[in-house]
Amino acid sequence: MNEPIPPRSPEPPRTAPRRLHPLLRVILYLLTFWVIQSGVSTGFAGIAFLLGKEWLGPDSFLQSQEAILLIFVLVIVPALAVTWIFVRFLDRRDLASLGLRWPEGGRRKAGRELVTLSLVVMVLVAGWLLGILALPDRLAALHLAGLSGDLVTGRPWWPLPRPWLFPFLLVLFLIQGGIEELVVRGYIYHALRERWRAVVAALASSVLFALLHATNPDVSAAALVNIVLAGLILAALVERSGSLWGATVAHGVWNFVLSCLVSLPVSGFSVFHLLKLTTTGNPQITGDGFGPEGSLVLTALGLPLAAGLWWRTARNRDQPREDTFPSAPEDATTAAPL
């Protein structure tokens, strides 16, 4: 029996010809997003300065890595507004066409993806840990020294019991992952899909995704390769489901599990975590200060996963280009699926 053909990413009828080349729209969109992010960060720091020196001290919230995460999360409202403007007036489509919708199958399918993808993330993390443990100590080793100092002493700016910081960070990571998915797998990927086949658009958007991390602390060539692989995996989830939901879940849960539970840096940043865990050995194997995302062990896990997902996508169907979709009359209207 043939495998069922997965649903195509939604492509609504066009109400009018789209304006500007997709690459130009992508560049303008990224520049606009950068301006928004810089503005939110500057405004946040300005408000803290006006509130007094206690907000800028070494133990203050603003000097913590969690503040960087929160500042990024605050971008969500202007980012959605700008995305809607681009989509409405330049792309001539709706937000649902970017994947801002439930996956095919509705909320029940979304619930299954939440559980399934969370388990897949944990299996990948466990695979990395086992890979490091299987190597000789001269190449890579893990050192566990009990609970982290964060969990013992807490953070001076956190008003609730210390364990409650974990669900707070999980929510922040899910929102942060959702914003990155909206930008890269939502707008950029779908804009490039107008001219290129799915795998080419996925590769191009994933390279851009890696370049956005190029200035992170302790970044390396292996880290950039792994981010490209992660982008390909996330783009495959979007392409197969027509929704950003699964990619957002996988992205946010990965960051949370790696940084808060495994207690190692994620993309070069460290936040409140559970364990006092360190790595030694070859930085290309352990990931060093960038975390497991800079590890060649993760490359060995991510490469077959990305290749397998895209092989299955290509095997199941040959997705037509954007210009093969029928055009609608200029006065046609489209309704965004819920």
pLDDT in tens, 263-291: 999 999 999 999 999 999 999 999 999 99
Q: Which amino acid is residue 138, in one-letter code? A: R
pLDDT in tens, 167-186: 999 999 999 999 999 999 99
State both tokens at 59.
Answer: 């133990």
Provide the number of structural domains found in the chain: 1
Q: Is residue 225 part of a domain?
A: yes
Q: Which range is least confidently modeled, 31-40, 49-58, 145-154, 297-306? A: 49-58
Bigger pLDDT: 73 or 314?
A: 73
Q: Is residue 160 part of a domain?
A: yes
How high is the pLDDT of residue 140?
Answer: 97
Under the banding of pLDDT at 50, 70 and 90, the label for residue 13 is very low
Element (H, E) at 143: strand 140-147
Bigger pLDDT: 61 or 244?
A: 244
Q: Which range is least confidently modeled, 42-46, 200-204, 268-272, 284-288? A: 42-46
Task: Give yes or no for residue 318 having a pLDDT over 70.
Answer: no
What distances in angstroms separate CA 214 from CA 63, 146, 195, 225, one per listed residue? 22, 32, 27, 11
How high is the pLDDT of residue 19?
Answer: 78
Instruction: State which residues form the domain around 132.
Output: 105-317
- Answer yes or no: are the C-beta atoms of 275 and 146 closer than 8 Å: yes
Alpha carbons 185 and 183: distance in angstroms, whole number: 6
Q: Is residue 199 part of a domain?
A: yes
Q: Is residue 261 part of a domain?
A: yes
Alpha carbons 48 and 51: distance in angstroms, whole number: 5
Q: Is residue 156 part of a domain?
A: yes
Q: Which residues of 22-59 are buried (b: 16+ CB within 10 A; e: fewer)?
A: beebbeebbebbeebbeebbeeeeeebeeeeeebeeee
Bigger pLDDT: 314 or 32?
A: 32
Under the banding of pLDDT at 50, 70 and 90, the label for residue 55 is low
Q: Is residue 300 part of a domain?
A: yes
- Answer yes or no: are the C-beta atoms of 272 and 155 closer than 8 Å: yes
Give the residue among 233, 238, 252 at the shortest CA–CA distance from 185. 238
pTM for the model stands at: 0.87
Q: Is residue 141 part of a domain?
A: yes
How high is the pLDDT of residue 159?
Answer: 87
pLDDT above 90 as % of the chain = 71
What is the residue-averaged pLDDT of the chain?
Answer: 87
Task: Give yes or no for residue 14 having a pLDDT over 50.
Answer: no
Q: Is residue 232 part of a domain?
A: yes
pLDDT in tens, 63-99: 788 988 998 999 999 999 999 999 999 999 999 999 9
